[in-house]
C-alpha cells in the first residue's frame, strides 16, 4: 500500500512539473549574416631614415621613422542560425484555450470554404488558424507569439571569402625615440608625421659636451611587442669643432655686449656655415631692441655695413 501511494505521489509531481514547465512552441528559424576579418601579424619592424648626407655636417637634422607591419588577412562570411520558440506561461491558458477552440472551428470552416472556392484562401487562414487553435487548446503549450519569442543559437556557418597578405607603413607618430650621445641618453618625441627634429645647439644637446662624441645612436621600441630598431648618425670632426664656439656665440649673455659684438656673433655663425643659427640670433636681437628704435637702427646699420646682411624688420618692431 505504501508503494502504491508513493507511485501516485511521484506521478502527481511529474504531472505538475510538466504542467508548470510546459512545452515550447517552436517558431521559424532566424538567421543573421555578418562579415568577419581575421588579421594575423606576420612581421613587425621599424624603418629609421637618418637622411642625407650620412655624416652630420650641420647641427640640425630630420630623422624619419616608420612602423612596418605585415598581416595575413582572411575574410569570412558568418551566418548564425537561431532556433526561436514561445516560452510556456501557464496563466495564458486561461484565455488561449477558449480562443483556440474558436480558432479551430474557424479554421475548419475556412478549409471547407477553400475547397468550395478551389483553394482561393491563403494559408494564413486555412493552416495558421488551425495551428493556432491546436496549440491554444493544448494545456501544456502556448499559442505561437512572435512578440514573446525567445531564441537559442543553433549553429554557425562560415564561408571564406578572401585570403591575402597586407603591408602597412605608418609614421611613428608622436612617439618617443631614445638618443644616445656618448654617455648621455636623451629622449625626444616625433611629430605626427613621424619626423624627429634634432638640433645639437638646442636642448638637450646644448647642455652636453659633444666634442668627443663621434656619433648619435637612435633607438625606437614598441613597448607592447618589444620590437626595436637602432640607427647611427656619425658626427663630422669639423662639426664637433664648431659646436663649442657656436654654443658660446649663441648662449653667452647678449645684454652686456656692444652692437659691434652682436654683429660679430652673427657674422661668425654665418662663417661657420650655421646660417640658420645666425638668422635666429638676428631675429632675437631685433626683437630685443624693439622698444629702443635708436639702438635697433644702429644695430641694423652695423649689420649691413660690417656683415653685409640686410635684414627685413618685422612690422611693429621699428
pLDDT digits (tens, 9 = 90+) for 135-179: 777 777 777 777 787 888 889 999 999 999 999 999 999 999 999
* Boundaries of every domain in the chain: 2-36+79-155, 252-318
HSE on the CB side for 135, CA within 13 Å?
Answer: 23
- DSSP bridge pairs for 170: 67
CA 140 vs CA 96, 107, 178: distances in Å: 11, 21, 74
Please say whether the beta carbons of 92 and 142 come within 8 A: yes
Instruction: State residue 43's pLDDT score.
Output: 96
The whole-angstrom separation of Cα 283 and Cα 200 is: 20
- Please report how the helices 259-271 and 275-288 are oriented relative to each other, as an axis angle in degrees rounded to 10: 160
- In sign, the C-alpha dihedral spanning 32, 37, 40, 44 is negative
Picking from 60, 248, 278, the residue whose alpha carbon sits closest to that of residue 286 is 278
Please say whether the beta carbons of 220 and 46 come within 8 A: yes
Confidence bin at 313 (pLDDT 50/70/90)? low
The whole-angstrom separation of Cα 182 and Cα 221 is: 20
Query: Does pTM surpass 0.95?
Result: no
Identify the three-state secondary structure at position 247.
helix
Please say whether the beta carbons of 50 and 61 come within 8 A: yes
Instruction: State residue 22's pLDDT score.
Output: 52
Q: What percent of the chain has pLDDT over 70?
A: 88
Residue 204: cis peptide before it, omega within 30 degrees of 0? yes
Amino acid at each position: 500500500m505504501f508503494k502504491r501511494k508513493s507511485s501516485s505521489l511521484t506521478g502527481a509531481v511529474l504531472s505538475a512539473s510538466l504542467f508548470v514547465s510546459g512545452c515550447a512552441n517552436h517558431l521559424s528559424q532566424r538567421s543573421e549574416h555578418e562579415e568577419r576579418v581575421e588579421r594575423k601579424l606576420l612581421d613587425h619592424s621599424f624603418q629609421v631614415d637618418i637622411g642625407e648626407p650620412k655624416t652630420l655636417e650641420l647641427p640640425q637634422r630630420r630623422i624619419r621613422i616608420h612602423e612596418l607591419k605585415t598581416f595575413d588577412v582572411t575574410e569570412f562570411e558568418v551566418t548564425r542560425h537561431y532556433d526561436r520558440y514561445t516560452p510556456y506561461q501557464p496563466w495564458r491558458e486561461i484565455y488561449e484555450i477558449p480562443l483556440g477552440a474558436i480558432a479551430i472551428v474557424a479554421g475548419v470552416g475556412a478549409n471547407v470554404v477553400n475547397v468550395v472556392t478551389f483553394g482561393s484562401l491563403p494559408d494564413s487562414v486555412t493552416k495558421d488558424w488551425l495551428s493556432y487553435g491546436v496549440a491554444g487548446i493544448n494545456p501544456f503549450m502556448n499559442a505561437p507569439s512572435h512578440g514573446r519569442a525567445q531564441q537559442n543559437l543553433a549553429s554557425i556557418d562560415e564561408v571564406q571569402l578572401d585570403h591575402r597578405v597586407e603591408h602597412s607603413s605608418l609614421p611613428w607618430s608622436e612617439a618617443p625615440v631614445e638618443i644616445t650621445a656618448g654617455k648621455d641618453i636623451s629622449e625626444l618625441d616625433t611629430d605626427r608625421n613621424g619626423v624627429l627634429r634634432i638640433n645639437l645647439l638646442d636642448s638637450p644637446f646644448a647642455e652636453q659636451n659633444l666634442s668627443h662624441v663621434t656619433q648619435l645612436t637612435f633607438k625606437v621600441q614598441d613597448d607592447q611587442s618589444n620590437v626595436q630598431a637602432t640607427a647611427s648618425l656619425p658626427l663630422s670632426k669639423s662639426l664637433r669643432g664648431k659646436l663649442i664656439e657656436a654654443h658660446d656665440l649663441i648662449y653667452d649673455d647678449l645684454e652686456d655686449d656692444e652692437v659691434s659684438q652682436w654683429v660679430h656673433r652673427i657674422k661668425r655663425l654665418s662663417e661657420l656655415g650655421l646660417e640658420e643659427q645666425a638668422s635666429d640670433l638676428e631675429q632675437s636681437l631685433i626683437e630685443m631692441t624693439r622698444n629702443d628704435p635708436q639702438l635697433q637702427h644702429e644695430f641694423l646699420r652695423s649689420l649691413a655695413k660690417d656683415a653685409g646682411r640686410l635684414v627685413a624688420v618685422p612690422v611693429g618692431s621699428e
